[in-house]
Structure 1
Amino acid sequence: MPLRFAPLRLPLRRRLQTAAVLQWVCTFLGLGQLCVLLFVLALRGSLWLPALLYAGWLWADRDTPNRGGRRSAWVRSWPVWNYFRDYFPISLVKTADLDPRRNYVFGCHPHGVLAAGAFANFCTEATAFGAKFPGLRPHVLTLPCWFRLPLLREYFMAGVFARALISGCPRFGGAGLVSSSRSSLRFLLSRPGGGHVAVIVLGGPPEALDARPGACTMRVLGRKGFVRIGLEHGASLVPVFSFGENELFRQGAHPPGSGLRRLQLRLQRLFGVTFPLFHARGVFQYDFGLLPFRRPIHTVGE
């Protein structure tokens, strides 16, 4: 079957939407490795002193991902996220008002391959979370291993280095990404005054291995610790479901117990992340590549 190529003439907005999603995919698939390589090259080259000072900063700042991170309205409002939203498109459906004097745990399903819905709705203001839920500040909990990678952790949190370069930007920080450790969740839910939302994509990396069009396998058993922590701190639990999340990528059927699934789980235990073998479309053609399909995602909170 021949590849279906994209037309040469497309509106600029569609080009920008594709570019926004491409940089997002590349961030999760390759930016970590690139950052580690740059750090090692700096240590072995003429930039060894700045790299060594940065290593000291990593040690001094090691607890920040477990203590609320560094979030910023400026980063959350970057125009690139609007193009990201419109590519699919992604929408956030509000079904009830939430009291900003309380803290909350948003339990999200499904994870999908890359959790595009959770990212757009809770790491950015592309779907107007702040306007729909005034007084609430979402913090998306993600794997602790991301915050062990030099430079990438600063990009995820957009740390103090970026703050020094941008004048007039109050509390410059990240889009709300924090560690998914228990101490991180306890810190958020114990904040006085309320208004903090811990967003947990409950299925985690293992659920990504089951994400494929037309199927929805949710992993809940053995992942209820967040409920106990939420109850301990008097936080309200809000279930969230992203309809269409699993339609973005294709994966082969590799059921539990198969050789490939055992290998994937072994790699997850070793590196802390899963390696789903997914594909969708490309930049210039519609039949094969690592870009997600243009499928709508409707995220609903109950």
Structure 2
Amino acid sequence: MKIEFAPINIPLRRRIQTFAVLQWIFTFLFLGQCCLIVLLLLIFAGYWYIAAVYSVWLYLDWETPNQGGRRSEWVRKWTIWSYFRDYFPIHLVKTADLDPQYNYLFGFHPHGVLVAGAFGNFCTETTGFQKLFPGLTSYLCILPMWFKLPIYRDYIMCAGLVSCVKSSVSHILSRRGGGNVVVIVIGGAEESLDARPGALTLKTLNRKGFIKLAIKCGAHLVPVFSFGENELFNQVNNPKGSFLRATQEQLRKIMGFTMPLFHARGVFQYSFGLLPYRKPIYTIVGKPINVQQNHTPSSEEIEALHTKYIEALNKLFEEHKAQYGIPEKDRLLFS
């Protein structure tokens, strides 16, 4: 394989952008393990009392990720996130006003490999979420396992990340006065296994739990489609029925998550590595679907709203796909 090296005379701003994304990749893949190792080293190095104090804090604070988290506007406005945004770049596009007197459940599609668009738009303030949607506060839901890692959990909560368990989502969407937005990546880990350039398959047909939650809480539904999310990484070929795919699916069933074997470019060369490609991301926030609260929704009510949501998502995609480089003949595939 011929290696394509990066030019030496790259502008400093672009180098900082690369560093910003590199630290994000490191945070996602390795920081949690590093934090755990640090805690263990404190114990073995004789500083057990520091670990003991933190353990007491962890015990007392255990439910915080399920109760709205502990966001920090200071962290969300770090300058490094502006460089992170500009690396791709990431854009947030509004199609309708959202009344802050209501709570909203954003269904984010597609998952991609590392949901860079969801993080950039809803966990930082660099793409102007609060300016586009004044009065609204966003929370991005992720797997609860990430909040079991000491120290790491406290850091990611600062960005507005919360657990995706039902009690966590309900806690936010049931707040009186409105103004809260819960962002759920509907396709989840299963969809990430199909994330590769050109992929348009969404795992949505059997995902109805978020519909039920929206009805129970009376939260309006908003479809969100992020163009470019699947273009950031290549993935090792893993067709259904292959040994790799079977292993990944088994890991997902046992652990609740799986990791696509992805690759793209490196820091000093463009031929291989874990950095995403510099591909633009356009995250389109659709029009809200009004939801009437019902604490005991019937199966028919859930099915009807789910169908309405799928139709709205498909319409959102069709209305914007030509503008963002999707051929007219291409269609979303729902599975």
TM category (shorter chain) comes to over 0.9
SS of residue in 2 equivalent to 1:93:
strand
Equivalent position to 2:241, from 224, 240, 257: 257
The residue that corresponds to 1:27 in the other structure is: 27
The residue that corresponds to 1:194 in the other structure is: 178
The residue that corresponds to 2:226 in the other structure is: 242
Of structures 1 and 2, the one scoring higher in RCO (CA 8 A, sep 6+) is: 1
The residue that corresponds to 2:134 in the other structure is: 134
Q: Deviations over 1:73-132 (max 9, x none)?
A: 211111111100100011000000000000000000001000000000000011000000
Distance (Å, rounded) in 1 between the aligned partners of 2:226 and 2:232: 12
Equivalent position to 1:180, from 164, 176, 193: 164
Distance (Å, rounded) in 1 between the aligned partners of 2:58 and 2:17: 34
Q: Is residue 41 from structure 1 mapped to residue 41 from structure 2 by the alignment?
A: yes
Distance (Å, rounded) in 2 between the aligned partners of 1:55 and 1:223: 36
Question: Once the 2 structures are TM-superposed, how far is the Cα of residue 267 of structure 1 from its aligned partner?
Answer: 2.0
The residue that corresponds to 1:272 in the other structure is: 256
The residue that corresponds to 2:89 in the other structure is: 89
SS of residue in 2 equivalent to 1:268:
helix
Distance (Å, rounded) in 1 between the aligned partners of 2:144 and 2:276: 25
Q: Deviations over 1:213-251 (max 9, x none)?
A: 011221113321111111111110000000010000001
Question: Once the 2 structures are TM-superposed, how far is the Cα of residue 184 of structure 1 from its aligned partner?
Answer: 0.3
The residue that corresponds to 1:300 in the other structure is: 284
Q: Deviations over 1:20-51 (max 9, x none)?
A: 00000011111111111111222222111110
Normalising to structure 2: TM-score of the pair? 0.84
The residue that corresponds to 1:171 in the other structure is: none
Normalising to structure 1: TM-score of the pair? 0.93
Distance (Å, rounded) in 1 between the aligned partners of 2:43 and 2:188: 34
The residue that corresponds to 1:11 in the other structure is: 11
Could you tell me which amino acid in structure 2 is paired with residue 240 of structure 1? V
Q: Deviations over 1:181-223 (max 9, x none)?
A: 0000100110000000000011111111110001122111332
Instruction: State how 1:101-140 maps to structure 2 within 5 Å.
Output: 101-140=101-140
Distance (Å, rounded) in 2 between the aligned partners of 1:136 and 1:181: 21
SS of residue in 2 equivalent to 1:285:
coil
Could you tell me which amino acid in structure 1 is paired with residue 151 of structure 2? L
Identity across matched positions, percent: 60
Distance (Å, rounded) in 2 between the aligned partners of 1:273 and 1:228: 23
Runs of 4+ aligned structure 1 residues displaced above 4 Å come to none
Q: Is residue 75 from structure 1 mapped to residue 75 from structure 2 by the alignment?
A: yes
Could you tell me which amino acid in structure 1 is paired with residue 257 of structure 2? V
Distance (Å, rounded) in 1 between the aligned partners of 2:271 and 2:98: 42
Instruction: State how 1:145-184 maps to structure 2 within 5 Å.
Output: 145-157=145-157, 174-184=158-168
Question: Once the 2 structures are TM-superposed, how far is the Cα of residue 18 of structure 1 from its aligned partner?
Answer: 0.2
> For this pair of structures, how many residues does the alignment match?
286
Question: Once the 2 structures are TM-superposed, how far is the Cα of residue 59 of structure 1 from its aligned partner?
Answer: 1.1
Distance (Å, rounded) in 2 between the aligned partners of 1:152 and 1:269: 24
The residue that corresponds to 2:207 in the other structure is: 223
Question: Which runs of 5 or more structure 1 residues have no equivalent in the other structure?
Answer: 158-173
- Report the more deviating stretch, 137-146 or 212-221: 212-221
Could you tell me which amino acid in structure 2 is paired with residue 101 of structure 1? Q
Could you tell me which amino acid in structure 2 is paired with residue 235 of structure 1? A
